[in-house]
Amino acid sequence: MRASISAFESFGDPIRKNVRLTLRLASLHHDGMNIVRTAVLMAALSALFLFVGFLIGGGAWVMIAFLFATATNLFSYWNSDRVLLSMYGARQVDETTAPDLVRTVHQLVEQAGLPMPKVYIVQNDQPNAFATGRNPQHAAVCVTSGLLARVNGEELAGVLAHELSHVRNRDTLTMTITATIAGAVAMLANFAFFVGGDGRRNPLGFIGLILVAVMAPIAAMVVQMAVSRTREFEADRMGAEISGRPLWLASALEKIDRAAAVTDNPQADSNPATAHMFIVNPLHGGALAGLFSSHPSTEERIARLRAMADRPPVQAGPWA
């Protein structure tokens, strides 16, 4: 891979600019479709919030739930990089301590037209990776030691391109908004369960109110996870376009999924709410894992990437 990566350095600035423009123009249609899907899911989540609020009587309870959920999630959004990296004991690296890793990130951000993020490594046997930060200017990309031990340089580039796509798409902001609405729905459901709703405005009666209190948070979680899965598909697609090599990411996903299934991630087990941040779900789910999973099935992700590889590439990537 060293020879193929070094070819990037021969690109002139005009060629790099043309490649970025081609990447952006080719992505507009896909971006639009994914924005529509995400917007529809978030609209459904908002409608659920309003519906539950109406059933419990609306007014002050709705406002309290929304403001509390907004405040807690805004704090998480603004401090996401520091909180998450500290939670996993991440160690920042540079060109001296991890030259190959940092060099690959640098070449990919040049291709994607992004500012250089901070780069971290987590001492964890499970191969995985995540990106965090409230915007591209405050982004961080983190990989586990298990990932570095199990993938080759090309597969690592595919993984990093995927994570940089999350940064470029501002998926941290999208998931924060989604979590805010889902959290507000859960709070309203708790109010309904413990306080009770306004019987004069509730057409379902007391039993119906209890059912709503139980089912609404589950429905909100299902929609929230659907948004997360949509963003993962988009990051796969855009990451493959940034690297120009869909099969690099497909090969990495296959290795990561197989190893992650038999390797525990103690930090993720202790903080399951962070599972959606990883490239592959770090948790080991049960029979209903597909419905409540924050990630699409790895098999479908690999199939889509292989289909991309069968088509003419959108652009050559930095390793033409």
Which residue, 206, 213, 146, is CA-closest to 186?
213
* Contact predicate 200/28, CB 8 Å: no
163 noted as active-site residue: yes
Q: What is the DSSP string of the chain?
A: -HHHHHGGGG--HHHHHHHHHHHHHHHHHHHHHHHHHHHHHHHHHHHHHHHHHHHTT-THHHHHHHHHHHHHHHHHHHTHHHHHHHHTT-EEE-TTTSHHHHHHHHHHHHHHT-PPPEEEEE--SS--EEEE-SSGGG-EEEEEHHHHHHS-HHHHHHHHHHHHHHHHTTHHHHHHHHHHHHHHHHHHHHHHHHT---TTT-TTHHHHHHHHHHHHHHHHHHHHHHHHHHHHHHHHHHHHHHHS-HHHHHHHHHHHHHHHTTS--HHHHH-GGGGGGBSS--S---TTHHHH-SS--HHHHHHHHHHHHHSPPSS--TT-
Residues 90, 118: contact at Cβ < 8 Å? no
Among 154, 155, 163, 241, which one carries the catalytic annotation? 163
Taking the CB of residue 21, how many other CB atoms lie within 10 A of it? Answer: 12
Active site residues: 163
